[in-house]
Amino acid sequence: MKINLKVAIAMALFLSLGSQAMAAEGGNPKKGKHLYKKECKACHSVGTEGPELTPMAKTMSQWDRFFKRDQHKAKPEVFKALSEKDLKDIQQFLYDHAADSDQPQTCG
């Protein structure tokens, strides 16, 4: 009983100190995926203006660097047309699915 009480107190403390778990960059990857398909894939697919692109094209830190420093230098107006929130969501999606991110472990 004493142990149970201690565990309960420890949990209560932990919960009181805990905060909502945030993704690495605070974006919403689900929204980001939708935006990526709509905004990015239009130019970055087979036979389009830009080179074909997938999230696996860069590592997590390379995507972060791309959004922080490069900011789509090749065509800056593309980024300027998107809100900060949209860019964060896209960045989160690409980060979560980058070459060195955790991947589903299936065949094929």
Query: Which stretches of the chain bind another protein, using CB under 8 A?
Result: 11, 14-15, 17-21, 24, 28, 30-31, 33, 102-108
At its nearest, how many Å lie between another protein and the CB of residue 77? 27
Q: Which residue, 12 or 80, is less far from another protein as judged by CB?
A: 12
Alpha-carbon span 60 to 92, nearest angstrom = 9
Alpha-carbon span 26 to 32, nearest angstrom = 11
At its nearest, how many Å lie between another protein and the CB of residue 80? 25
At its nearest, how many Å lie between another protein and the CB of residue 104? 4
DSSP 66: I
Alpha-carbon span 49 to 100, nearest angstrom = 27
